[in-house]
Amino acid sequence: MTAEPTGAGGVLEGIRVLDYGRFIAAPWCSALLADMGADVVRVEKRGGGEDRWVQSVTESGEGGTFLQCNRNKRSLTLDTTTDEGRQISRKLVERADIVVANMPAAGMRASGLDYDTLRAIKPDIILASATAYGEGGPYSDRIGFDGAGQVMSGAVYRQGLPEQPIRTVVPYADFGTALTLTIGVMMALYHRDRTGQGQHVEGALLPTALMLSNAFLIERDLLGTDKPRMGNQGASVAPCDLYRTKDDDWVLLQVAGQPMFKRWCRLVGRLDLFDDPRFADDDLRWKHGDELNAVMASWCAERTKADVLDALQAAKLPAAPMLSTREVLDDPHVQAMGYLQRVPFPGVGTGVPIVETPFRLSATPGVIRRRAPLLGEHTEEVLAEIGYGAADVDGLRRREIV
């Protein structure tokens, strides 16, 4: 079953996108374009892209990340290593506005997805490519996943336990690259509307990760020092940590600035700390953070999570409970805001909780119109749009082209 289309076509209605992406960076970019109304065709090899089957959660084998990153798309299977497959690709490019892919430049050229090849077919085409390290440097031909961006940006060097660096399990370099790539695509569309010219939009994991860890690099360059790894404690302020409560749960608190610090001192009954010169500003509080975090840890250990959160919220201090994955699904605010939408999928009776478009436009919001496609689900439909009849498609199937 497919989720029925709802609402207007979207701000990108009429824009055609060919998605040759895999895993996250390129597919999430094209998913956001699809949310906004673009017609996105995911082009897969006949056995399916590798990302389709990672961490399977459905009867047919699709993984959770695939379901998130490929909603609102149609699936075409195609063997692009054959002459007939390349001919079909050319016809698809002739009708497309945007091609999205993520692979090193050499792979793009081998697949006929490099910008020069594409614009020879369609002069105003926009190519959006995502790589690990960017084009033009000594690492450009290397492959890499999200973790490569994390560990090479300086971030992992600064995070974790004193004796153990820890990379973040959430693939923020991948998703961040998808977001920056999407911004670039929209800028390129705006430029094309004004000039009639296409262009190549490039995103990469390493510069995305560098963007997120840039303050660490500035600090190191100007001061010549690195702060130590401190677990969940703050990188520049205190008190800041995850604190265990009386009922064996966890609460996050982050205190920054003089007014907030004074409110915290009043809350924990330690106004003497506010006048202590060791805690006169954020830098000094971070330097002597062990003492402040110990005060907060003791205070939380005597109270339940609910009591801690009520008190912190009443004092206007930025705090939040640590939620399990189950608690996130059940959270009343997440449910009230509709951040996770139940999207039907074959064999999943309750539907799949898919995150909505992560930004909201008041007049032209993103919409999840359909679930992620089954492998090759729309092959006949897509080929019909470029002139292939049923008999043609049958022949292509016999010859294992689609």
Amino acid (one-letter) located at 319: A
Strands (E), 166-266: 200-204, 240-244, 250-254
With CA atoms as reference, report the closest residue to 157 among 198, 216, 109: 216
**Integer Cα distance of 386 and 88 in angstroms:** 8
Residues facing 126 on adjacent strands? 98
Amino acid (one-letter) located at 61: G
Q: Which residue's entry shows tokens 């094309």?
A: 192
- By the 8 A CB rule, do 383 and 392 touch? yes
Q: Residue 6 burial (CB < 10 Å; 0-12/13-18/19+)?
A: exposed
Q: Cα dihedral angle (134, 140, 146, 152), rounded to 10 degrees? A: -90
Three-class DSSP labels, 283-331: HHHHHCHHHHHHHHHHHHHCCCHHHHHHHHHHCCCCEEECCCHHHHHHC
Rg of the chain (C-alpha set): 25
**Integer Cα distance of 227 and 229 in angstroms:** 7
Q: Residue 276 burial (CB < 10 Å; 0-12/13-18/19+)?
A: middle
**Integer Cα distance of 157 and 143 in angstroms:** 21
Task: Given the residues 174, 241, 249, 282, select the one marked as catalytic.
Answer: 174
Residues facing 101 on adjacent strands? 129
Q: Which residue's entry shows tokens 């609910």?
A: 306
Chain-centre distance for alpha carbon 50: 18
To the query of whether residue 116 is one of the catalytic residues in this protein, the response is no
**Integer Cα distance of 102 and 149 in angstroms:** 15
What tokens appear for 216 in the block?
A: 């660490």
Amino acid (one-letter) located at 233: Q
Known catalytic residues are 174
